[in-house]
Amino acid sequence: MAKEVLNTIAQRASEKTGIKLYGRSVERVLAGLLTTSDFWKVVDLADQPVPATSQIVKELVAEALAKIENDEILLTEKGLQLIKDLKIPPAVDYSCKACEGRGIPFYANLDWYHTFLQVTKDRPKAIQQYDQGSVTPETTISRVLFLDSREDLRDRDILVMGAEDDLTGLAVALTRLPRRVLILDIDERSIDFDNRIFKELGIDNAEAIRFDLRNPFPEEWLKSFDVFITDPPETLKAFKAFIARGIAALKQEGSVGYFGLTLRDSSITRWHQFQKALINDYGMVITDIIQDFNAYMNWDYHAETKAQEVAPVKKLPTDIWYRSAWIRMEALPGFKGENEKITDEVFMELYLDEEGSTT
């Protein structure tokens, strides 16, 4: 009987959001509520799209299993009894505090870290126009260290596609270890910022170019890079279009791509679709997935997002809650990318659908 309650709530939430949910999805929210009454922290713990967690909370309230008081979500006696009957444990976090769960401590190279902090003091702020949200400096430096640990940094030709609000391309170039760094982004502020730093520091093997990634790459960028890094939109068509463009820029088998992927804007069902596309359509294999590697600083425009609109509380997030996995993939023999123009149809669904909500 208790299990049926979970399945019923999951079914109702699925019907209202269009996101495939299960009894286990509800369990994850209940486990989070045993740990915190803060909605945004529950989203973080539950690892599900914001609309899904939000609707599950609303269904729990409708069933008198939870209540909302002063923007806090509290379990009722009925809810606590259900949890007891189902033996649901509270959400726990055993991740290493020193490396923030990445397995790569940002302080492993303090020279890189301190240099990055110094040169980015006046970095441009993330803006909604370009769906920006910057990761913490510790995340950015950990990305660089991860590349180095996989032999993807030194004497490599590296392409950074978009998301330079994270300044990953800048951080890579500051090491002075790659053979070449090319940064592409549509935000002229990021491009000007990077090029100014390169000029001031005399870094002559790195360049930032304003480029709309909806457009095909020129011939000289195709099959020219050992590594590409991107942070693609998480709708299926847009993900495939961006990733396929990066793959088309790879030189040969053994070349690699890095990207971030969330469980805040994508469900595991969509992850399944992404992974099938990488293997079946493009001949890539995932070698590493480090969950919650990328920690995002709260962005100023959060109050204007769909995430805040659908949330069951008015309270804005105060701590880091938006995280994404850091994924490395490698090109197999016969791999192939695509270099087609991204059409208006795809562009219209680049950022928001039933799962995405943070733009």
The DSSP code sequence of 59-112 is HHHHTTSEEEETTEEEE-HHHHHHHHHHTPPPP-----TTTTTSSS-GGGGHHH
What is the number of residues in the chain?
A: 359
The answer to whether residues 140 and 168 touch, using CB atoms and an 8 Å cutoff, is: yes
Distances (CA, A) of 237 to 129, 135, 211, 314, 346: 20, 24, 20, 32, 6
Strand pairing class (256-262; 284-295): unpaired
| DSSP-assigned letters across all residues of 228-246 | EEE---SSHHHHHHHHHHH
Q: Which residue in 169, 163, 197 sits closest to 183, CA to CA?
A: 169
The answer to whether residues 328 and 102 touch, using CB atoms and an 8 Å cutoff, is: no
Side by side, the strands of the sheet bearing 323-331 are 206-210, 180-185, 157-161, 227-230, 256-262, 323-331, 284-295
HSE value, Cβ hemisphere, 13 Å, CA-based, for 64: 3
Residue 180 CA to residue 157 CA, distance in Å, equals: 5
The answer to whether residues 152 and 226 touch, using CB atoms and an 8 Å cutoff, is: yes
pTM: predicted TM-score of the whole model, two decimal places: 0.93
pLDDT per residue over 102-147, tens digit each? 999 999 999 999 999 999 988 877 555 545 568 999 999 999 999 9
Q: Which residue in 320, 328, 140, 135 sits closest to 243, CA to CA?
A: 328
Residue 151 CA to residue 208 CA, distance in Å, equals: 23
Residues of the chain with pLDDT under 70: 126-133, 300-301, 344-353, 355-359
The answer to whether residues 167 and 144 touch, using CB atoms and an 8 Å cutoff, is: no
Residue 148 is predicted with a pLDDT of 98
The answer to whether residues 36 and 45 touch, using CB atoms and an 8 Å cutoff, is: yes
Q: Which residue in 296, 211, 299, 282 sits closest to 248, CA to CA?
A: 282
- Contacts for 235 with CB less than 8 Å, ≥ 6 apart: 349, 350, 351, 352, 353, 356
Q: Which residue in 261, 271, 242 sits closest to 323, CA to CA?
A: 261
Residue 70 CA to residue 65 CA, distance in Å, equals: 17
Residue 50 CA to residue 265 CA, distance in Å, equals: 7
Say which DSSP state 353 is in.
S
CB-neighbour burial class of residue 183 (10 A; exposed 0-12, middle 13-18, buried 19+): buried
The answer to whether residues 229 and 135 touch, using CB atoms and an 8 Å cutoff, is: no
Q: Which residue in 262, 272, 277 sits closest to 327, CA to CA?
A: 262
Residue 309 is predicted with a pLDDT of 86
